Amino acid sequence: MSLLSICTTESLTNAALSLKNGQLVAFPTETVYGLGADALNSDAIARVYEVKGRPTDHPLIVHIASLDAIEEWAREIPEYAITLARDFWPGPMTLVLNRSKLAPNFITGGQDTIALRVPAHPVALALIKEFNSIGGKGIAAPSANRFGAVSPTTAQAVEEELSTFLHQDDRILDGGQCLIGVESTIIDCTGSVPSVLRLGAITPLMIEESTGLVAIESNPSAIRVSGSLDSHYSPHAKVILDVVAIAGDGLIAPDQIPTPNGVIRLAAPSSIEEYARVLYAALRSADQKGLEVVVVLQPGGDGLAAAIRDRLKRSATK
């Protein structure tokens, strides 16, 4: 039985009702697909952790409909956080703030902070708004894959990885391929200046231009956040960075790099944006092809390229 649903008005209404009834709904965002549950339903959140195989002390990101909801979930919100939200929400940015009384321990990993995001994908926003209309407050949603594995950027990838773990009443909303392809930037907004805990499409330079403050690139040792482990985003194949591929290897490299004889080309992106968009699908295809080794030639530069290198460094760590 397929869990996939085409995104119609009816399917979104049914998906919101499923969330309200404690089921799980995987849905597209502009970054990657998320595995959603009612952020205030402890049983539903427990199932998210179970389906993912994720440690329960790893907090979840709560997806909200707009900036207007931020004060429900957070307190002592600095002005620069409001500025960031106005400039980049909806969008690929998660803000970590001091949590309000609304935010329960079971979504914060027992920490005194809450991670919030307003996604830009029209399906995600429509689902959250529909959920709000029937009394929901927010959708907690980590990436819709097993813990530590490659994040999914299509509904089919979610179904392939999680269908055996999901229940008959759970749903996967098919909203096409994710536009960005790497997870949101996570910014700690509990201090006097913003601190980047995970790199993404919203870059430190963009943060500085928005707020007038120089963003710190920090090691998130004090605050646990998604995707911060040394080993993460990993296919079954071994990922090796910046070496010459040999016959039998898979290869991900910019399009100007030729494919050596006997090497299986997995992706040849022509821009940094395309590199990010196709990266996870290419890593997944290596496993589908049964490859043992994937050689990746990393992009140079700052911004999104740095986020790509961050993901690749973690995927290459076993």
- Domain hosting 291: range is 238-315
Q: Is the pLDDT of residue 170 over 90?
A: yes
Specify the pairing of strand 74-75 against strand 185-188: unpaired
Task: For residues 203 and 130, state if they share a domain.
Answer: yes
Q: What total number of domains does the chain contain?
A: 2
* Cα separation values, 249 from 190, 285, 311, Å: 45, 12, 20
Residue finishing a domain among 187, 217, 247: 217
More confident residue, 220 or 106: 106
Task: For residues 199 and 104, state if they share a domain.
Answer: yes
DSSP code per residue over 174-219: E--S-SS-SPPEEEE-SSSS-EEEE--SS-HHHHHHHHSSPPEE--
* pLDDT band at residue 175 under the 50/70/90 scheme: very high
Domain membership of residue 225 (yes or no) is no
Task: For residues 175 and 282, state if they share a domain.
Answer: no
Task: For residues 133 and 10, state if they share a domain.
Answer: yes
Task: For residues 194 and 249, state if they share a domain.
Answer: no
Q: Which residues pair with 241 in a beta bridge?
A: 296
Return d(Cα 184, Cα 41) in angstroms, integer: 24
Q: Residue 99 in contact with residue 112, Cβ under 8 Å?
A: yes
What does the pLDDT average to over 31-54? Answer: 97
What does the pLDDT average to over 130-158? Answer: 96
Residue finishing a domain among 165, 186, 217: 217
What does the pLDDT average to over 274-299? Answer: 97
Residue finishing a domain among 217, 250, 279: 217
Domain membership of residue 82 (yes or no) is yes
- What pLDDT is attached to residue 229? 61
Task: For residues 17 and 149, state if they share a domain.
Answer: yes
Q: Is the pLDDT of residue 1 over 50?
A: no
Task: For residues 49 and 148, state if they share a domain.
Answer: yes
- What pLDDT is attached to residue 220? 52
Position 64, amino acid = I
Domain membership of residue 231 (yes or no) is no
* pLDDT band at residue 148 under the 50/70/90 scheme: confident
- What pLDDT is attached to residue 5? 77
What does the pLDDT average to over 143-156? Answer: 94
CATH assignment at residue 291: 3.40.50.11030
Domain membership of residue 119 (yes or no) is yes
Domain membership of residue 226 (yes or no) is no
Q: Over pLDDT 90: what percentage of the chain?
A: 89
Domain membership of residue 223 (yes or no) is no
pLDDT, tens digit, for every residue of 57-104? 899 999 999 999 999 999 999 999 999 999 999 999 999 999 999 999
Q: Is the pLDDT of residue 308 over 50?
A: yes
- What pLDDT is attached to residue 219? 58
Task: For residues 182 and 257, state if they share a domain.
Answer: no
Domain membership of residue 229 (yes or no) is no
* Cα separation values, 19 from 73, 130, 158, Å: 19, 10, 18
Task: For residues 206 and 256, state if they share a domain.
Answer: no
Mean of per-residue pLDDT scores for the chain: 94
What does the pLDDT average to over 241-253? Answer: 97
CATH assignment at residue 31: 3.90.870.10
Domain membership of residue 163 (yes or no) is yes
Task: For residues 245 and 187, state if they share a domain.
Answer: no
What does the pLDDT average to over 120-126? Answer: 97
Task: For residues 18 and 73, state if they share a domain.
Answer: yes
Task: For residues 249 and 143, state if they share a domain.
Answer: no
What does the pLDDT average to over 11-17? Answer: 95
